[in-house]
Structure 1
Amino acid sequence: MPLRVTFVAAARSSSLLAERFEDDRPLDLAGWEALQHAAGDLLSLAAADLRYCSPTPRSRSTGDALGYQPLMQLALRDCDMGRWRGLTLGEAMAREPRLVDAWLADPRSTLHGGESLLTFIGRVGGWLDTRPGQEGGRIVAVAEPSVIRAALVYALKAPPAAYWNIDVGPLSTTTLAGWAGRWHLHLGGAPVQPSPV
């Protein structure tokens, strides 16, 4: 059986319109309430063989609140947005409209002084491909939606432009099954049940 990596999208720290590049704010009240509501469906993932999270406060808080006791992984950090860090897309567009347009159109662009989309996707994919695990092992990783989108583009060998067409909602789960270089998106099925103790 292949290794199964289930990504859990971190609970929200702001409304969709107020999302910021490399947002380091903690969970907001709505995020905590949604987390309490979804916990029953996500607690069973704590039985995974390995549990990780991205270094953002909201990812760590989500993983801790679900009892995962996740190990922080720097490779699961959000894309380095350089001088746009902390800005919303609208704010970056108001300051540098031509540069934002060029960045959105070219996955190799580093016009913001940070990391290109291609580099970001490769970094997250590299993390995915180096996961230890035995055949049939299970991993859970709490991460920012952007990280999960990058993992999906990498795993499905999709063109980088597909990144902009993937929506990942707070507290949603996405499972990839396989091994280095051969990942498959797993949809549906019964929720992962904890192993007998």
Structure 2
Amino acid sequence: MHLRVTFVAAARSSSLLAERFEDDRPLDQAGWDEVQRAAPELVSLAAAELRYCSPTPRSRATGDALGYAPLAQPALRDCDMGRWRGFTLGEAMAREPSAVDAWLADPRSAPHGGESLTSFISRVGGWLDTRPADDGSRIVAVAEPSVVRAALVYALKAQPSTYWNIDVRPLSTITLTGINGRWNLRLEGVPQYA
């Protein structure tokens, strides 16, 4: 018995340089345009038996625009950034440089008063491990890029610091297969030779 969980990174709500911690803004025009361009490749994921999303406006809008009609999952919310919520990394660094340095260096730290990176990764992993374990179940989850990164770190049993080395672009997908605590990353695509 195994599951197939495909994460779709939500479309953007701002330029990458203007990304804010726990950003609750809806999709911007560029995000809507991206969804329309990507839809032909992503619409088929609507056939998944279970369809979820992060509770953010942009994740829900991305899922709805792709025809998924996803159910919001609180466990797929972004990392709780405490008093840094709504700040860009640069703004947090300007206000509390030593706290940001500590947060980036130690995945167990939460100088912002919110959730540590290890807690965030564990929460997302806990969500993965509690999915229904029917044989062959297909699940799609539209989530913030940070949630997709956390899911990858958890599934691969990588060091939490690996989180900082994963780049998840808007509307990119990753597929994990497995069950409770035993996940594999599945890379898909058409081979260029056969």
Letter in 1 for 2:68: Y
Counterpart of 1:147 in structure 2 is 147
The separation in 2 between residues aligned to 1:176 and 1:93, in whole angstroms, is 34
**Within 5 A, what are the aligned runs for 1:38-187?**
38-187=38-187
2 CA distance for matches of 1:3 and 1:79? 25
CA separation in 2, counterparts of 1:51 and 1:123?
Answer: 19
- Secondary structure of the residue that 2:168 maps to in structure 1? coil
Partner deviation per Cα, 1:154-181 (whole Å, 9 max, x = no partner): 0000000000000000000000000001
TM-score between the two structures when normalised by the length of structure 2: 0.96
Residue 2 (structure 1) shift: 2.3
User: What amino acid maps onto 1:13 in structure 2?
Assistant: S
Given residue 165 of structure 2, which amino acid in structure 1 is its aligned partner?
A: N
Q: Secondary structure at the match of 1:163?
A: helix
Residue type of the alignment partner of 2:180: A
Q: Please tell me whether the aligned partners of residues 2 and 133 of structure 2 are also in contact (alpha carbons under 8 angstroms).
A: no
Please list every run of 5 or more consecutive structure 1 residues that lacks an aligned counterpart in the other structure. Answer: 191-197
Task: Report SS of the residue matched to 1:60.
Answer: helix
Q: Secondary structure at the match of 2:135?
A: coil
Q: Secondary structure at the match of 1:100?
A: helix
Percent of paired sites with the same residue: 79
Paired letter, 2:144: E
**CA distance in 1: counterparts of 2:171 and 2:159, whole angstroms:** 26
CA-to-aligned-CA distance 1:36-72 (integer Å, 9 cap, x gap): 0000000000000100000000000000111101010
The number of equivalent residue pairs is 190
Equivalent-residue separation in structure 2 for 1:123 and 1:133 (angstroms): 18
After the TM superposition, list the runs of 4 or more consecutive aligned residues in structure 1 that deviate by more than 2 angstroms.
none
Task: Give secondary structure in 1 for the equivalent of 2:55.
Answer: coil
TM-score of the aligned structures, taking structure 1 as reference length: 0.95
Give the partner amino acid of 2:64.
D
